């Protein structure tokens, strides 16, 4: 699609900011104090010349030259007294004014008490709770980088991430403390542990309240912090297209771009908060995961939404919170859609408030969407999207009102996509031909942290990034995901790296080799299945091996099935041939 060219970027900046984002020419009180926000850079109306490249159908957004914290608090004066975040179980929460003040105090405490400086890493290992954004945004305000850690990780998983990210402090809970303490002891490093719990703290741990509620803390130290739009702010971990989890460097630009891309034109998800209106989003998708972090938390705070947190999904707490808070914007994964469609306790009391629902992280059949919509009696906008940790995360997204539920949508603003022939990377395929999906845009990560080999594998000239997913697009530029080239297993939307489980299996004293693949599961999407070779003279049971693995990993990574085999198919170079494993043994 050829797009019109504007003669003046400044005029377009004003129109876009006012029309789509409610900014009065960057004139809110926060922005007036932060004049650097006014300096914008643009990529106006790009029109790729490469054959078969699919560009976004939307005008490019205008990216403000600021940090993610400035972006989120830009309209603080408009909704200071509105609820920012509240626990869906206990009702504990904070207004936008309180959240801003407490996160600022936390930032100053990190600088003054712990002597943290720019680019020092803070790990946030929390379930969804009102303190999560305080810790994360406060750390960013201090100039630090945040690495998000799954709170159900075992010590080995925690230790690996703390070591790789070079974390100097970790914010977590008493429940997680034993695994965190063990991980730090294994590392033999000095890492400060900050617990959000208020009572009976273990010796040596610091109380979170001391860092966020001491409003006499000197915040002058924050004035001279220099951060740019291209600085890394988040370091979540992803297995990419293959291998063990790697740190994904996401910048201020990446996160801001994706927040704005999801609020453009017909793909707008929420409405800005006013004196008389506030969208409510029930957030059960974990904030440590990129989908939960950006789509359900950061982007919603930037729009003044009331964020209702749930630490994990359970039918009773989810339905009770939905009935109480009447969430009208829901972000889900396929198992939750199936739950809402079929569970006997789901009533119109729960469904009627919903105006928009977005599903992502894993494929959802069109028949499942139809079953959900049939159960509702209001006009619900059902949307699907596609993304990765490496893309902050959204690159493809459906418009409101779409009925093509088999598709994951089209490129978001500023985003290009193409389908590449597996046999020849120079052959870009046309409509209705399956190949590997490549994407480019301002939401694409800076790269994998200190991993040049992985970067070489995933990036291509021209700003393109390989996704490792098989896809095609139709004549209407709607994309469809068909399969995965990459080895990742998706369990309830979470990534499970076969290489990680294989490494653990090979440490079992009675096994000599192992391979892991994903197999279909009715409720979880996929589960890992292991194929293992016993050492000569040994006779372990499948149950004992599965328990061995379960003791070392988060619950969603545990093996669903295990099979003993004589040998593992491998290439001449020793690489496991997973397709052959699947063909031979399943």
For 192-235, what is each residue's pLDDT tens digit? 999 999 888 898 899 999 999 998 999 999 999 999 999 999 99
Helix (H, G, I), strand (E, B) or coil at 395: strand
Cα separations in angstroms, 577 against 526, 573, 581: 19, 11, 6
Give ranges for CATH 3.30.300.30 in the chain: 489-585
Domain 9-65+252-484: what homologous superfamily? ANL, N-terminal domain (3.40.50.12780)
pTM of the model: 0.82
Structural fold of domain 489-585: GMP Synthetase; Chain A, domain 3 (3.30.300)
Structural fold of domain 89-228: Rossmann fold (3.40.50)
Helix (H, G, I), strand (E, B) or coil at 500: helix
DSSP 8-state secondary structure symbol assigned to residue 400:
T
* Residue 100 in this model has a pLDDT that exceeds 70: yes
The overall average pLDDT reported for the chain is 88
DSSP 8-state secondary structure symbol assigned to residue 556:
G
For tokens 């008389």, name the residue: 276
Say what angle helices 498-505 and 542-550 make with each other, to 10 degrees. 120
Give ranges for CATH 3.40.50.980 in the chain: 89-228
**pLDDT tens per residue, range 146-176:** 999 999 999 999 999 999 999 999 999 999 9
Give ranges for CATH 3.40.50.12780 in the chain: 9-65+252-484
Residue 563's beta-bridge partner residues? 531
- Quote the CA–CA distance of 125 and 108 in Å, as a whole number: 20
Q: Mean pLDDT lowest for which of 162-171, 416-425, 453-462, 520-529?
A: 520-529
């Amino acid at each position: 699609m050829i797009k019109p060219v504007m003669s003046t970027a400044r005029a377009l900046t004003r129109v876009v900011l006012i029309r789509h984002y409610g900014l009065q020419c960057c004139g809110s009180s926060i922005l007036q104090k932060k004049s650097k926000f006014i300096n914008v850079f643009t990529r106006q109306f790009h029109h790729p010349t490469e054959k078969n490249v699919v560009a976004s159908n939307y005008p490019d957004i205008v990216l403000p030259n600021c940090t993610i914290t400035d972006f989120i608090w830009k309209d603080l004066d408009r909704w200071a007294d509105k609820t920012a975040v509240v626990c869906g179980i206990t009702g504990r929460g904070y207004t936008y004014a309180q959240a801003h003040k407490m996160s600022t105090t936390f930032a100053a405490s990190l600088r003054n008490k712990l002597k943290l400086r720019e680019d020092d890493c803070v790990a946030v290992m929390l379930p969804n709770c009102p303190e999560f954004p305080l810790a994360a945004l406060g750390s960013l305000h201090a100039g630090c980088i945040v690495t998000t850690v799954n709170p159900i990780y075992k010590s080995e998983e925690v230790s690996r991430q703390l070591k790789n990210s070079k974390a100097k402090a970790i914010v977590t809970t008493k429940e997680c403390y034993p695994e965190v303490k063990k991980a730090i002891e294994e590392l033999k490093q000095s890492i400060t542990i900050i617990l959000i719990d208020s009572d009976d703290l273990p010796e040596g741990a610091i109380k979170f309240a001391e860092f966020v509620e001491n409003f006499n803390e000197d915040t002058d130290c924050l004035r001279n912090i220099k951060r740019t739009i291209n600085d890394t702010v988040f370091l979540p971990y992803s297995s990419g297209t293959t291998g063990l989890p790697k740190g994904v460097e996401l910048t201020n630009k990446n996160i801001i771009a994706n927040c704005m891309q999801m609020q453009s034109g017909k793909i707008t998800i929420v409405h800005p908060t006013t004196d008389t209106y506030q969208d409510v989003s029930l957030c059960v998708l974990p904030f440590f995961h990129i989908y939960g972090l950006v789509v359900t938390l950061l982007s919603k705070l930037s729009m003044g939404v009331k964020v209702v947190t749930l630490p994990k999904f359970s039918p009773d707490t989810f339905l009770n919170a939905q009935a109480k808070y009447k969430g009208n914007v829901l972000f889900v994964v396929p198992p939750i859609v199936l739950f809402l469609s079929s569970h006997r306790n789901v009533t119109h009391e729960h469904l009627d408030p919903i105006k928009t629902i977005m599903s992502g992280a894993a494929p959802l059949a069109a028949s499942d969407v139809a079953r959900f919509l049939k159960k509702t009696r209001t006009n619900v906008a059902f949307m699907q999207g596609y993304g990765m940790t490496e893309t902050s995360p959204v690159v493809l997204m459906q418009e409101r009102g779409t009925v093509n539920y088999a598709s994951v949508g089209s490129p978001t603003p500023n985003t290009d996509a193409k389908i590449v022939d597996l046999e020849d990377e120079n052959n870009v395929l046309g409509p209705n031909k399956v190949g590997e999906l490549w994407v480019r845009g301002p939401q694409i990560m800076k790269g994998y942290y200190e991993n040049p080999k992985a970067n070489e594998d995933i990036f291509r000239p021209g700003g393109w990034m390989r996704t490792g997913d098989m896809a095609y697009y139709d004549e209407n530029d709607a994309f469809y995901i068909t399969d995965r080239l990459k080895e990742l297993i998706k369990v309830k939307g979470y990534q499970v790296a076969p290489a990680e489980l294989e490494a653990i299996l090979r440490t079992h004293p009675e096994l000599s080799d192992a391979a892991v693949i994903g197999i279909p599961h009715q409720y979880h999407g996929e589960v890992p299945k292991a194929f293992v070779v016993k050492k000569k003279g040994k006779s372990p049971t499948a149950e004992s091996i599965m328990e061995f693995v379960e003791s070392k990993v988060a619950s969603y990574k545990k093996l669903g099935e295990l099979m003993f085999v004589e040998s593992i198919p491998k290439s001449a170079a020793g690489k496991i041939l997973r397709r052959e494993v699947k063909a031979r043994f399943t």
